[in-house]
Structure formats: C-alpha cells, structure tokens
Amino acid sequence: MTDIATIARFPEVKKIVRTDRQGTLIDSLREPEPEGVAAVAGFVVGALVQAGDQLGLGALRRVVATGPRYADLAAVSERTIILLRIEPASAVVAAEKALDAPSQGRK
C-alpha cells in the first residue's frame, strides 16, 4: 500500500485523502473534512468508471482536475483511491511521479 506520509513530504502536496472505491475514508493528512472529500472521490470515480466502460476505455487509473490555483489528482487502484490536492497546479506531474515512486520501489 502506498505510504501517504511519504507523498505528503512533497511541499506541493497540500492534502491527501485515501478512500476505498465506494468512497469510504481510509486515512488522510491535512484535510479538515476527509469524509466528505472521500465520498465525492468515490462518486466521481464511480461515474467515470461507468463512462469508461461504455466508451470501451478500460480500467480507470488517474483523474486530474485542474483549476487556476491548484489541481486535484486521484490515483485509482483496484481497491483504493488516493486523492491529492496539489498547489500550484503546475506541480501535478511531479506529484504523479511521487505517487508512482513507492509502488515502483516495491516491484
């Protein structure tokens, strides 16, 4: 399992929420309302998975929503969703690498 404390060391990662695919909170860092964020993440992923199924796009892996100030990145695995709030938004690529790094290290 990805260690969210490791990801949280990156200064651009402002908040982290980990949830299961149904939107039930597993753990979080620096997010004052993690349950609400987890529920929304579960719902968004569920809707996009359905859309992806209908479009024949395969398994959902990442969702990145970007605005002028920050980006929200959801890394979707078979059982969990890790949601990162990244600020500034331009750091989203670096954050994705940070997310990938722990799993790569276990291979």
Partner 1 sequence: MEAVLQSILDVPGVGAVMVLDAAGHVAGHRGRAVYDRALCEQVGGLVIKAVDAIQLQQEDWDSMTATFGDGKLILRRLAGEEGVNHILAIVADATLNISFATVSIRVAANKLRAALRNGATEAIPVTLTPVPVAPSPADSKVALSNSGLSWSRPSSLGLSRIATADPASAAFLSRSAKELARQLGPMAKVYVEEAVRRVSPDTPFALSAAAKLIEDLAGSIEDPEDREAFRKAVSKG
Nearest to partner 1 of 26, 48 (CB atom): 48
Asked if 65 is part of the footprint of partner 1 (rule: CB under 8 A), the reply reads yes
Apex CA 38: angle with CA 36 and CA 42, to 5°?
120
Specify the stretch interacting with partner 1 by CB under 8 A; choose among 2-10, 62-70, 99-107: 62-70
Report whether 51 contacts 58 (CB < 8 A): no
Q: Minimum distance from CB of 39 to partner 1 (Å)? A: 6
Q: Per-residue string for binding with partner 1, 13-52, x by CB under 8 A?
A: ----------x---------x-xxx-xx--xx--xx-xxx
Report whether 31 contacts 16 (CB < 8 A): yes
Nearest to partner 1 of 43, 94 (CB atom): 43
In sequence order, the 6+-apart residues with CB closer than 8 A to the CB of 82 are: 2, 4, 7, 16, 17, 18, 74, 75, 99
Q: Is 58 left (phi over 0), alpha (psi -120 to 50) or beta?
A: left
Asked if 94 is part of the footprint of partner 1 (rule: CB under 8 A), the reply reads no
Residues near partner 1 (CB under 8 A) are 23, 33, 35-37, 39-40, 43-44, 47-48, 50-52, 54-70, 72
